Homo-oligomer: A and B are copies of this chain.
């Protein structure tokens, strides 16, 4: 284009972190704003060499930038792979063709395979704004996706990212539908399964709105931010890994969709199933176990809901050649005692080390899931998996494999809790009859988890515990007085975190 010279801008760093949404900052009186008719919040394409990203334009009305300069948000610098001093070209975003299909869905037209391929490809390329992703998420929410649409969505997500292959007939994996604080079975299950001689290339996520993701927990003991080549090395050497999935980009559109879902606090069953199964398939799994904890403050609140999810998981799995087994588990209270990366890692190590005070619930849940995986993989006969898993744990084989995997990932180190602590005491005598998982998670987050890995809480009063007045219910850990005060302040102003029945 002839007039393109006026669209070239020199990049300057301003150090503005806008999280996942790319932004470009341009002077209001710049040639590019005038000639292109750009106004604040316009969506633009930014080119650098052969690379390009889409960003929202923010107009600078002050002297933060000089004539001919522009700045990008930190994430945009990263995704366009540019630095201060580079020159970029800015132009209007062409209309996003695939969004027509989102509009059609709003008018109750069903998605076909091609529509979802287009939408997921465009989200992957960063063409959708958060507003547009919110519309897509909403159009897919509730029971608005039929089984065939979930299958198309899953396949589109698989096609949009990297795909691993291991040249083995059996690759087994597990996933937990989540929402249960402290439910950190992965770092226990992976070494058991790998110790049994199976291949388990486990990728996990970091916390988005919870006090800890599995990747955050494992990171307190060993590096998780591995490249694809490093993961291959770990798997070849040890048969299992425990890494952060984000670095591998198995389903890049999914991260953006999940970000918006969390912002809306909306779960769409169809989206969730496509998200989980596409990542498993992309990681090269042939078999996967899905753990669905059910409880009234867990993510899935009723057995009926869990049964419906089971049907979808199995049917979609079938269509993409992935064998799925579902285990519906108790989701009425936290698992283990720690909530927060280090505190959960301590529970994990305690189980692996067969310490007598290891949390029995975390241990038994892990063994049950590992046992089912061993049976599914044909390592043992039906009904024999649990005992075999227990034997691998009790014998120390799992701990040994855990250290070896950590070694292969970059070395093991002992997790360290935060410096400050505060005991929260029972205000009366009685029996614990109800626990609000969401509120406990909130306390751990206010105390600093997961940003401060050592922060969080250590829970001492599971359901049915008989407590005396003044007995510690849980201990809050924090790196700073301010964060500790903030968690305590929240507790002061909130009811029903735990319910103590004085008559029982």
A88 at the interface (CB under 8 A from B): no
What's the minimum C-beta distance from A129 to chain B, rounded to whole angstroms?
7
What's the minimum C-beta distance from A493 to chain B, rounded to whole angstroms?
8
Instruction: Mark the stretch among A177-185, A426-434, A445-453 that contacts chain B.
Output: A445-453
Contact A17 B480 (CB under 8 A): no
A39 at the interface (CB under 8 A from B): yes
Partner of A61, one of B2, B17, B144: B17
Partner of A131, one of B19, B59, B131, B489: B131
Contact B17 A486 (CB under 8 A): no
Contact A35 B483 (CB under 8 A): yes
Q: Which residues of chain B are near A137, meaning CB under 8 Å?
A: 135
A80 at the interface (CB under 8 A from B): no
A461 at the interface (CB under 8 A from B): no
Instruction: Mark the stretch among A158-166, A260-268, A386-394 that contacts chain B.
Output: A260-268
Q: Which residues of chain B are near A74, meaning CB under 8 Å?
A: 61
CB under 8 Å from chain B, chain A span 26-82: 28, 31, 34-37, 39-41, 58-64, 74
> Given A15-B60, A143-B107, is A37 in contact with B451 using a C-beta cutoff of 8 Å?
yes
Contact A36 B6 (CB under 8 A): no
Chain B residue nearest in CB terms to A137: B135
Q: Which residues of chain B are near A266, meaning CB under 8 Å?
A: 103, 106, 135
Contact B16 A486 (CB under 8 A): no
| Distance between Cα atoms of A108 and B133 in the complex (Å) | 20
A141 at the interface (CB under 8 A from B): yes
Contact B482 A34 (CB under 8 A): yes
What's the minimum C-beta distance from A107 to chain B, rounded to whole angstroms?
4
Contact A135 B264 (CB under 8 A): yes
| Distance between Cα atoms of A331 and B179 in the complex (Å) | 53
| Distance between Cα atoms of A225 and B440 in the complex (Å) | 52
A13 at the interface (CB under 8 A from B): yes
| Distance between Cα atoms of A60 and B19 in the complex (Å) | 11
A138 at the interface (CB under 8 A from B): yes
Contact A39 B19 (CB under 8 A): yes
Q: Which residues of chain B are near A381, meaning CB under 8 Å?
A: none
| Distance between Cα atoms of A483 and B35 in the complex (Å) | 5
Contact A263 B61 (CB under 8 A): no
Q: Which residues of chain B are near A132, meaning CB under 8 Å?
A: 134, 263-264
| Distance between Cα atoms of A168 and B13 in the complex (Å) | 60
Q: Which residues of chain B are near A133, meaning CB under 8 Å?
A: 131
A485 at the interface (CB under 8 A from B): yes
Chain B residue nearest in CB terms to A33: B451
A21 at the interface (CB under 8 A from B): yes
Contact B141 A107 (CB under 8 A): yes
Contact A40 B18 (CB under 8 A): yes
Contact A142 B108 (CB under 8 A): yes
A20 at the interface (CB under 8 A from B): yes
Partner of A37, one of B21, B28, B103, B445: B445
What's the minimum C-beta distance from A264 to chain B, rounded to whole angstroms?
5
Contact B480 A34 (CB under 8 A): yes
A86 at the interface (CB under 8 A from B): no
| Distance between Cα atoms of A64 and B1 in the complex (Å) | 36
| Distance between Cα atoms of A15 and B74 in the complex (Å) | 19
A146 at the interface (CB under 8 A from B): no
Chain B residue nearest in CB terms to A100: B265
Given contact pairs A15-B64, A17-B59, enumerate 11 new A-B contacts (beta carbons under 8 Å): A3-B482, A17-B61, A18-B40, A18-B58, A20-B41, A34-B483, A37-B448, A64-B64, A106-B138, A129-B263, A134-B138
Q: List 26 A-B contacts (CB under 8 A).
A: A2-B485, A3-B489, A6-B482, A13-B62, A14-B60, A15-B60, A15-B63, A16-B61, A16-B64, A18-B41, A21-B41, A31-B482, A37-B446, A61-B74, A99-B264, A103-B141, A103-B264, A106-B266, A107-B141, A108-B143, A129-B263, A131-B260, A134-B134, A135-B135, A135-B138, A138-B139
